[in-house]
A and B are shown apart, each in its own frame.
Chain A
């Protein structure tokens, strides 16, 4: 145990650099996936045939490709088309696109759960589609969307470790690098696991808070 604490004092500062990148990747891809997911979802519920079809197709393609392959594609293949991204940019974009499919399905479920009478009431006071969404549907859908959204946040935090496969030195990769140069696998990976857990727990509590709030309504 004493040895572990000794290792911890030595490795934590290095691992914290990885934590920083983990947070950057998670927040960056969370924002991107939320924005894209909202666009896909709004296309899906727009009632305009071509947009509905396009969105459904996009979501299925994205869902059908493993995140790691998407990351490889963006980082290693896009340069062939003249788009060279840094590893961090590629990670954020790859995870953002991958998760936009799940975000979209969650948003769509929330939007479609709103009573049709609400939309009709908005229409009868002269609201157009966008105003109805913004003032009537989305504010009510948020309550339904939030608990699963919190779960997606937790999954994204953990899946940000996949960025290590395209050389982003986030927490998992930082741990692997230290472990392979010191052979202190037990200490290093225990620390890495604890750090992920420390970041997840506030999110888990947040999800519980959302769920309680949604249940009370």
Chain B
């Protein structure tokens, strides 16, 4: 469903992606792990055109991702994104955040959008917070609203950019459990994360990225339990046993 072929990307003189080739099948959950600055987030941002890429090709269901082309809007409505820092619209309530896209981008009728928005908030366990503004919600609640906002676009895939990294540790679980439910329902997901437990239990596949290249990839359990490459082994040792 999502294809990347030999994708290169530089910021100035620094090449952050040095030829990424990967694919994500429908209903697949792929976790991208790796050290900070390895280019993980840049991959996600290239997939839905928040960043342009210099060489290679990215396509979503056969449509080429081109940041400068009008077609990017259609791709973005099919591939939603959830951000590390939630990026909810602070001047709108939780419900208004969720229905913003359906109302103003997809031009759905108001009544239908509100009904579905409320159902989505219920799905992420926030039925009672519909009228609350984001600054009054906890980080975990905000991220769940952000997931509902992404779902409201009825996307074919959702990209998660370190969705739990900005959360207090005790709030991580509520977000991960919503994500796990999505995965169980067959949503195609690409997740940049440091939550190795989530990757092991929920992901179908794991990509380990370091220095702008895919160092190792494969079934989640085999990469995480029996990493082959020394860099993967070293990274996992540091993450799992920081002391």
Separation of A169 and B50 alpha carbons in the complex (Å): 56
* Binding stretch for chain A, among B14-22, B84-92, B118-126: B84-92
* A49 contacts chain B at the CB level, 8 A cutoff: no
Choose the segment among B4-12, B54-62, B97-105, B188-196 that binds chain A (4+ C-beta atoms closer than 8 Å): B97-105
B194 nearest CB across to chain A (Å): 20
Contact partners of B101 in chain A: CB under 8 A: 125-127
B-side interface size class: 20 to 34
Q: How far is the CA of A120 from the CA of B89 in the complex (A)?
A: 11
How far apart are B192's CB and chain A's nearest CB, in angstroms? 15
Residues of A in contact, count (CB < 8 Å): 17
**A123 engages B76 (CB within 8 Å):** yes
Contact partner of B88 (CB less than 8 A), chosen from A121, A127, A128, is: A121
The CA-CA distance from A127 to B149 in the complex, in Å, is 13
Interchain CB contact under 8 A, A126 and B89: no
**Minimum Cβ distance to chain A for residue B80 (Å):** 6
Which residues of A lie under 8 Å from residue B150 when comparing CB positions? 124-125
In the bound complex, do residue B50 and residue A120 qualify as a contact, i.e. CB atoms below 8 Å apart? yes
- Nearest-neighbour CB distance to chain B for A138, whole angstroms, equals 10
Hey, which chain B residues are within 8 Å of A122, CB to CB? 89
Q: Are A124 and B91 in contact (CB under 8 A)?
A: no
CB contact between A124 and one of B50, B74, B85 (< 8 Å): that residue: B50
Chain A residues whose C-beta falls within 8 Å of the C-beta of B87 in the assembled complex? 115, 117-118, 120-121
Among A115, A117, A121, A127, which residue has its beta carbon within 8 angstroms of that of B104? A127
In the assembled complex, the CB of A213 is this many whole angstroms from the nearest CB of chain B, namely: 13
Contact yes or no, B105 A124, CB < 8 A: no
Tell whether A139 is near chain B: CB-to-CB under 8 Å.
Answer: yes
Chain A residues whose CB sits within 8 angstroms of the CB of B74 once the complex forms: 126
Given A123-B50, A126-B77, A140 and B83 contact (CB-CB distance below 8 Å): no
Compute how far the CA of A124 lies from the CA of B49 in the bound complex, rounded to whole angstroms.
9
Contact of B149 among A125, A128, A136, A140 (CB under 8 A): A125
**Residue from A120, A122, A124, A139 whose CB has the most chain B CB atoms within 10 Å:** A124
Are A136 and B83 within 8 A (Cβ)? no
Assess whether B100 is in contact with A124, with CB atoms less than 8 Å apart: no
A121–B77 touching, CB < 8 Å: no
Q: How far apart are B139's CB and chain A's nearest CB, in angstroms?
A: 14
Assess the A126–B91 pair: CB atoms within 8 A: no
Tell me the minimal C-beta distance from B106 to chain A in angstroms. Answer: 8
Decide: B77 and A125 in contact? CB cutoff 8 A: yes
Q: How distant is the Cα of A118 from the Cα of B92 in the complex, in angstroms? A: 12
B1-55 CB contacts (< 8 Å) to partner A = 48-50
The answer to whether B81 touches A124, judged by C-beta atoms less than 8 angstroms apart, is yes
Decide if B73 is an interface residue (CB 8 Å cutoff): yes
The answer to whether B76 and A126 have CB atoms under 8 Å apart is yes
Q: Name the one of A120, A128, A131, A135 contacting B83, with C-beta atoms under 8 angstroms.
A: A120
Are B83 and A117 closer than 8 Å at their CB atoms?
Answer: yes
Q: A117-B83, A118-B89, A140-B90 are in contact. Are A124 and B104 (CB under 8 A)?
A: no
Contacts of B146 in A (CB 8 A): 121
Are B73 and A121 touching (Cβ within 8 A)? no
Could you pull out 5 A-B pairs where Cβ atoms are within 8 angstroms? A115-B87, A118-B87, A122-B89, A123-B50, A131-B105
Question: CB within 8 Å of B: which residues of A?
Answer: 115, 117-118, 120-128, 131, 135-136, 139-140
| Extra pairs beyond A117-B87, A118-B87, A125-B80 (20, CB < 8 Å) | A120-B87, A121-B83, A121-B88, A121-B146, A123-B49, A124-B81, A125-B76, A125-B100, A125-B149, A125-B150, A125-B152, A125-B153, A126-B74, A126-B77, A126-B101, A126-B105, A128-B73, A135-B104, A136-B89, A140-B91
What 3 A-B pairs come out closest when comparing CB atoms?
A125-B101, A121-B87, A117-B87
